[in-house]
Amino acid sequence: MKKFLLLILASVLAVGLVACGNASKKDDAAKSNDKQESAADIPEKLDKPVEIEFWHAMTGGLEETLKEMTDEFNKSQDKITVKLVSQGSYDDLSKKLMASAKAKTSPVMSQAYEDWMTQYVENDLITDLTPYIEDKNHGWTKEELDDIVEVFRDANTWDNKMYGVPFNKSTEVLYYNTDMLKDKGLDVPTNWDEYKKAAAALTTNEGGKKVIGLGLENSIGLSFPTYVRQAGGTTISEDLKSVTFDTPESKDALTFLHDMVTEGTARLAGEDGFMSGPFGRGDVALYVGSSAGIGFVGAEAEGKINWDVAPLPKGKEAATAFQGTNLVMYNSATPEEKLAAWEYMKFLASPEQTVHWAKNTGYVPVRTSALDLPEWKDYVKENPEYGVAASQFDAGYYDPHIKGKSGINEALKKEIQAVLLKQKDVDKGLADLQSTAQSAVDKANK
């Protein structure tokens, strides 16, 4: 009996020691992880030349401008060489980045949308830039950090850590045919009521020329959350676990768009692909599109119509989503490569360079101070259409970083277009949108 009790006691002690040992190991591991997360391995300087690859999706004139800026950076110092690697479209870039991550061959840095970044953060693929921002040798001052437009800072922040630097940012604006508005004695619409009335008044069929008042891109579904916000609602819950498309505000927003299309005073781009073509031909009088498309609109409209740009008309509230990618660096890079990438990021986001980028591309400057630079002020004075997007910074918003965002976007594109193509009524479209989008969120959270 005594032997039996001694065996039991020994077993209990052994289990206790193993448990304590495991707990101790867990504590040590936790301390080690805390140390790794809080201490950035940032070199004081680069002792040897470093070459890094920047994967991007810029094409045409955008790529030419990026190359010009990168050449200037490379020539400005003798330690860092940035090699630009075009990956085609954004879709191509996204697929290649995921494939390279699986193969452990990620580039040093790339462009990335916020919904991509959510996945990258969750899978520990990209680097928290906060230690670089705060670094005494290479960081930004508080004033320099605060100078990044607030909506862009917020969009690049996860759990109070900044993972990206804003780069090519744009928002939607209202393009309008100046002659058509003048002929009808109309002012540029500034709210939903004026918007709807203008679309109706500008819809004509005179002298064999049919004109539709308002043109919308085929991707209008991705812009639907903007209309919901303008109606006073939101589309994502505060706890980031649910979508909220089954609300009165969502119904108001979709009904507003649906009624104009049904009445024939608004249309989608359809087979034209993008609305810049029909607008440039004079087939539509008003057109909602990206500010980054100013160059394309100008090319389509040259010699055909007179046009200008205005802020988006507001509903109960003014709201516009700022879109575009950010600059990120990957955890697989060496400390020297990361420092080189950070220096390049700072260069592209400097007031002078972000103005140069904006002037040549139609994207907006990402720094508040850039708007006060004489170069930008003079440019906007001569080309006022380029200043409209930045004038909407106060109305700018970003959707919170919810898991399943790609699935939400697919549901938005499919269901909103189905309603506007009269394949579903408003209630059915919103019900299906809510169900499909929520399923994507639930799946991502498993």
pLDDT band at 313 (very low <50, low <70, confident <90, very high): very high
What is the pTM (predicted TM-score) of this model?
Answer: 0.86
State the number of CA atoms in the 13 A half-sphere of 1 facing the CB: 0
- DSSP track, 52-101: EEEEE---HHHHHHHHHHHHHHHHT-SSEEEEEEE-SSHHHHHHHHHHHH
Q: What is the mean pLDDT of residues 308-334?
A: 96
Is the pLDDT reported for residue 176 higher than 70? yes
Grade residue 31 by pLDDT with cuts at 50, 70 and 90. Answer: very low
What digits encode the pLDDT tens for the residues 76-114?
Answer: 999 999 999 999 999 999 999 999 999 999 999 999 999
Average pLDDT, the chain: 91
pLDDT of residue 40: 56
CA distance 26 to 264: 66
Residue with tokens 């509903």: 315
pLDDT at 5: 38
Which residues of the chain form CATH 3.40.190.10?
50-169+323-397, 170-322+402-444
Residue 129 near residue 123 (C-beta atoms within 8 A): no
CATH class of the domain at 170-322+402-444: alpha beta
| 274 — pLDDT class (breaks 50, 70, 90) | very high
Residue 38 has pLDDT above 50, yes or no: no
Q: What mean pLDDT comes out for the span 308-315?
A: 97
- C-alpha–C-alpha distance, residues 368 and 147, integer Å: 5
Q: In this model, does residue 422 exceed pLDDT 60?
A: yes
In the block, residue with structure tokens 């309008």: 176
The rounded Cα 227 to chain-centroid distance in angstroms is 17
The two structure tokens encoding residue 185: 């004695």
Alpha helix ranges (H) inside 320-366: 335-348, 351-361
Q: How many CB atoms lie within 10 A of CB 381?
A: 9
State residue 2's pLDDT score: 37
For residue 291, the model assigns a pLDDT of: 93
Residue 1, pLDDT above cutoff 60: no
Whether residue 8 has pLDDT greater than 70 = no
Average pLDDT over residues 344-360: 97
Structure-token pair, residue 254 = 């979709």
Measured over the CA atoms of residue 224, residue 227, residue 233 and residue 238, the dihedral's sign is positive
Q: Which CATH class is domain 50-169+323-397?
A: alpha beta
The CA distance from 195 to 260, in Å, is 10
CA dist 405 and 199 (Å) reads: 32
